[in-house]
Amino acid sequence: MNLHAVRAIYRFEMARTFRTLMQSIASPVLSTSLYFVVFGAAIGRRMGALDGVSYGAFIVPGLIMLSILNESVSNASFAIYLPKWSGTIFELLSAPVSYAEALLGYVGAAATKSVMLGILILVTARVFVAYEILHPMWMAAFLILTAVSFSLFGFIIGLWAESFEQLQVVPLMILTPLTFLGGAFYSIGMLPPIWQKITLFNPVVYLISGFRWSFFGTSDVNVGTSAAATLGFLALCIAVVSWMFRTGYKLKS
């Protein structure tokens, strides 16, 4: 394992984040804070408790997941697409760096940024609403697994995309709607029975449900199922990335 190469890629990507703090960190935190102001402080006061939890606290896990999913995909996809677009990817491919080492550097940096963002939003939420974390270890596990899984997913999008427009298609047209329809702002138990069944085909439901369980001990889906779905998605992303590297898909052409 060429740890020097992994560290070099990781440090380069992290340095890019700290050079653009307003865009990478401040902007997502500010946007999420506005959600807390509107939905938590304003609307939340007019709504009753959901599963014994105030509405303002109930949406905390969903808003964190909303930011984590979008930022993980965005950070990882842009990190690998930019070298492809500029042509510097060939320097990486010709260097004595294995695919696994490059993946560790890029995905590790993207996941680190997302976890940092999640922690900042978690701290910021305390300014607006009071909440408790019943299972902090499970919360950390779901946070890290989700960040790594969707950073891998973003890496796949970055390899697949051939333009900046394609880079935004999946996050804007697929991921964001699935997150909003995945129970970020409501419990799927509030939906009509037929829609509850349809919603279970949304993979984001399992991520948000498991993460919310780690906070309040209640969830729409069994926590074991949520953990299995998260691990399954992680394994699928690893398999797809491995195939891309093995075949040179969108890398050697």
Domain boundaries, the chain: 3-247
The sign of the CA dihedral 207, 229, 242, 250 is: negative
Nearest to 148 by CA among 215, 100, 103, 205: 103
Residue-wise over 10-34: b if at least 16 C-beta within 10 A, else e?
beebbebbeeeeeebbeebeeebbe
* φ, ψ at 53 (rounded to 5°): -120, 135
Collect all residues with Cβ–Cβ distance below 8 Å to 11 and sequence separation of at least 6.
none
Please state the separation of Cα 212 from the chain's center in Å. 15
Reported pTM: 0.87
Over residues 121-176, the pLDDT tens digits come to 888 888 878 888 899 999 999 999 999 999 999 999 988 888 888 888 888 888 88
Over residues 197-209, the pLDDT tens digits come to 888 888 889 999 9
Digitized pLDDT (tens) for each residue of the chain, 253 residues in all: 777 778 888 888 888 777 776 666 777 777 777 777 777 666 666 666 666 778 878 888 888 888 888 888 988 888 888 888 877 777 776 777 777 888 888 889 999 988 988 888 888 888 878 888 899 999 999 999 999 999 999 999 988 888 888 888 888 888 888 888 888 888 888 888 888 888 888 888 999 999 999 998 888 888 899 999 989 999 999 999 888 878 877 766 5
